[in-house]
Structure 1
């Protein structure tokens, strides 16, 4: 794909926003035979879609708010997405201790029974009850008295899920432009005339339809569309996470119930760490960059220290990240109770021939179904049938990860196993495209540290729209947790040199 392609002058569909919903819609539309342009003002997954709790899950706590349809659809998608991208999605067992639960055990167990049975679970193991004092799943807890429940969901590398959808969309003909801002649009007969701005140029695009998947900026985009008449409003809720040195042994995650009835997850992260989150904090307007507050840090630390034997302080925090969720405003008083379901607001104008679809809400787990519903709702001329349900994402064309890793190790015996595992997890079978004919790591060019090589950086620039050190270290990978500031400086210089030399 071209490094900085010129946008097409005419497309069937213009998608605004390079988060998970935008790239999912672009991929689905391109696969249906439509011409597609996606524009993103920053990097792919540059905001909310890289700031999740990294879960493909039904959302057990949403049952408490009566969100049965959302939970069922999410659970139906859970194993489907695992099959589509087994390199970046894998099963995870969750321990739900009852030692400090504000909910009675019978209520939690009843919810887990529903959770196990309404989504067509096939491959994931069912819920079981454990004695925390005797079960390995209780190790690391400060209080191991009583029982806990162990249930299944899946983990996902959220930012890579976005990038893989963008790659697939591009390979099916879509034009993907990052660092390109949508500025205005107006209806013109049976279509739209839209203006987008890159770093140096402004372009006018004719589009048959527009999808506004701008996430937290959905209302800003609506304000720049002439004659737009949205039927709903967005409610912005910030969620923050902290990453600390590993708090407990084992590969299980924990679902921690707080006295205020909110939920916090503790999840094994990047081998050496534990990821803790999330919070639910209303925000009045979208900041340029969401950041965790002192109160959120205190809340997450207090939760962790209430449950785990290892005491964690602010000085232990290795990283924090925050994202703002663009939820549909259902007038719920409690931020945690605001619906996580998606709402598709279709505006056809007076003539009915130039649709504008505004996307509110949604969660990573339902992105594929959201995209499918969006294309079906717009019913654009020339669009083919839905197709994504059985289609793998780039690099996901294998069944069992460990089996593929063994194949990769046999093909590249001169490489450390840990490096091959990381590359296989990130790129799946496309790791072989990057490795090529290399016999050992020295064949991959410059060593930036942490296993990052020149060949990998070149691959990310040439094939995955990486343009900055942060794109590489914090979104295409999480190597930023494993390398020092010098690596980031060296990488920035390397990328700048590449850009200068073309």
Structure 2
């Protein structure tokens, strides 16, 4: 790749959810944008979350009303603009003797209901677990609780969809391209890339997530980025413990809460832990964390889980703003925008997936004041489905999907739903053109779409991030996907072990 003659308005280091959201918003306001990452898009924290769009019910205990209100309002926006990869998710919160009293739980859920307007998500209610289907999965000692609502999101696909829209609006997306150095030259930023090329931009955004502090110091040469508190959150995927669609929010004796969420039809997702680490590369799911999560779930479950029930595990790193004197669970999940004076540069610190779009709006308000906000009413590409009068995105998507299944009656309705819940609106064109050879549960046309439209270059990109088929396809099918991407048997073995056994963090920012 040769040095580009383009002078971009904006260069972004880090193609996680914050960088992707900024790229989309900026491109939609007419700025020329280049977004660069040394790994896959959404390849780190942004594909390793608990996959919730939520205000953070537990943050109310720390009086973070502003953060919760902002996140709850955004929950409604995301459920509307990305209905193909999101949906409202009910949570059952059992009352446990000796922990938070029932009056506190009810007060918290009522406050949660009313901090922001709700159009898509229902309100909370007190429930008798002995009369509820969800309660049959729990130890009968738990008799009462509360049902409240939040949202679920495919986090990796949220990144991809934001970048697809950014690219459609003219942004240049450069995954797997390390930034070795960023330097000021002639009043502009000149980024020296690992492939020998350069990118020149008027302004630079450091959105490298857990690597933001390192990128600011080592790559950009600035020393005023605030220190980060790196907290790893481990998750396990187990056999399905749920008897219905409700997730569980489970209180623990140490004051923490654990989510147990229906996942990928056949499984349950359990998370998360919180443990300080020194460097992002140190993140790894420990045996102690797996044991903790199993014990946390088993404290409530009627049929306890064992180590043999764990089919997958993964770890994400949250880059929290360092706040002296505060414990992990008290440290804010809000973001901070740090401008580097006189350098036309900014570092993004902290944040959560639910508020990424608001973060992007705040960034654009600083670098392009007076420009019009637009993303809250613009569906992401997969959610760009015609809506009837008064329909929100969730209702429109369900109607569209039912129509597509009826129109394409030669295809298995479950296959159509899987594709629609992955790429959304483009599913219709993919089906009409034909899916090609079946490689054992995944089709050649899908793989070509991920490669040509979504920057996928390996079986891991597809099986772990663009889809979660690594949990469903047998070894022979996964090997077929690897061969389709031209991987050697040795590479295939290593990657598939990574998909099933859990993964350490690869560096996604500048290398």
Distance 2:57 2:2 in 1: 43
Question: Residue 133 of structure 1: which of 111, 130, 135 is its match?
Answer: 130
User: Residue 357 of structure 1 corresponds to which residue in structure 2?
Assistant: 346
Q: 1:497 to 1:265 in 2, by over 3 A?
A: closer
Distance 2:193 2:81 in 1: 33
Distance 1:276 1:410 in 2: 35
Moved more, 317-326 or 399-408: 399-408
The question of whether the paired residues in 2 share the 8 Å contact of 1:229 and 1:347 is answered with no
Distance 2:317 2:250 in 1: 22
Question: Residue 158 of structure 2: which of 156, 161, 179 is its match?
Answer: 161
Question: Residue 392 of structure 1: which of 376, 379, 385 is its match?
Answer: 379
The question of whether the paired residues in 1 share the 8 Å contact of 2:217 and 2:223 is answered with no
User: Residue 230 of structure 2 corresponds to which residue in structure 1?
Assistant: 236
Q: 1:497 to 1:480 in 2, by over 3 A?
A: closer
User: Residue 409 of structure 1 corresponds to which residue in structure 2?
Assistant: 405
2:254 is aligned with 1:260: yes
The question of whether the paired residues in 1 share the 8 Å contact of 2:95 and 2:142 is answered with no
Shift of 1:446: 2.2
The question of whether the paired residues in 1 share the 8 Å contact of 2:213 and 2:226 is answered with no
Shift of 1:397: 2.2
Distance 1:143 1:346 in 2: 54
Distance 2:132 2:16 in 1: 40
The Cα offsets for residues 162-190 of structure 1, whole Å up to 9 and x where unpaired, read as 00000000000000011011111122243
Which runs of 5 or more residues in structure 2 are unaligned?
A: 386-392, 489-511
TM-score w.r.t. the length of structure 2 is 0.90
The Cα offsets for residues 132-178 of structure 1, whole Å up to 9 and x where unpaired, read as 11223312001354310100101101100000000000000000011
Shift of 1:6: 7.8
2:447 is aligned with 1:447: no
Question: Residue 309 of structure 2: which of 312, 316, 322 is its match?
Answer: 316
Question: Residue 428 of structure 1: which of 415, 424, 430 is its match?
Answer: 424
User: Residue 218 of structure 1 corresponds to which residue in structure 2?
Assistant: 212
User: Residue 494 of structure 2 corresponds to which residue in structure 1?
Assistant: none
Distance 1:90 1:394 in 2: 16
The question of whether the paired residues in 2 share the 8 Å contact of 1:237 and 1:326 is answered with yes
2:459 is aligned with 1:466: no
Distance 2:203 2:363 in 1: 12
User: Residue 82 of structure 1 corresponds to which residue in structure 2?
Assistant: 79
2:370 is aligned with 1:374: no
Alignment RMSD: 1.8
- Aligned 1:142-291 pairs, distance under 5 A: 142-197=139-194, 201-287=195-281, 290-291=283-284
TM-score w.r.t. the length of structure 1 is 0.92
The question of whether the paired residues in 2 share the 8 Å contact of 1:9 and 1:204 is answered with no
Shift of 1:66: 1.9
User: Residue 330 of structure 2 corresponds to which residue in structure 1?
Assistant: 337
User: Residue 500 of structure 2 corresponds to which residue in structure 1?
Assistant: none
The Cα offsets for residues 377-397 of structure 1, whole Å up to 9 and x where unpaired, read as 2237xx832211111001202
Shift of 1:9: 3.4
Question: Residue 348 of structure 1: which of 341, 350, 353 is its match?
Answer: 341
Question: Residue 485 of structure 1: which of 475, 486, 497 is its match?
Answer: 475
Question: Residue 297 of structure 2: which of 276, 288, 304 is its match?
Answer: 304
The question of whether the paired residues in 2 share the 8 Å contact of 1:101 and 1:258 is answered with no
Distance 2:142 2:482 in 1: 51
Which runs of 5 or more residues in structure 1 are unaligned?
A: 439-443
Question: Residue 288 of structure 2: which of 292, 295, 304 is its match?
Answer: 295
Distance 2:154 2:381 in 1: 14
Distance 2:99 2:281 in 1: 34
Distance 1:465 1:424 in 2: 19
> In structure 1, the residue corresponding to 2:173 is in which secondary structure?
strand
Moved more, 141-150 or 52-61: 141-150
Q: 1:302 to 1:482 in 2, by over 3 A?
A: same
> In structure 1, the residue corresponding to 2:121 is in which secondary structure?
coil
> In structure 2, the residue corresponding to 1:202 is in which secondary structure?
coil
Q: 1:227 to 1:379 in 2, by over 3 A?
A: farther
User: Residue 506 of structure 2 corresponds to which residue in structure 1?
Assistant: none
Moved more, 169-178 or 64-73: 64-73
User: Residue 441 of structure 1 corresponds to which residue in structure 2?
Assistant: none
Distance 2:115 2:405 in 1: 39
The Cα offsets for residues 295-332 of structure 1, whole Å up to 9 and x where unpaired, read as 11011000111111111111110100101111111124
Shift of 1:24: 0.3
Distance 1:493 1:415 in 2: 26
Shift of 1:489: 2.3
The Cα offsets for residues 435-472 of structure 1, whole Å up to 9 and x where unpaired, read as 2333xxxxx2221222x100000000000000110100
The question of whether the paired residues in 2 share the 8 Å contact of 1:186 and 1:226 is answered with yes
> In structure 2, the residue corresponding to 1:322 is in which secondary structure?
strand
> In structure 1, the residue corresponding to 2:426 is in which secondary structure?
helix
Shift of 1:74: 0.2
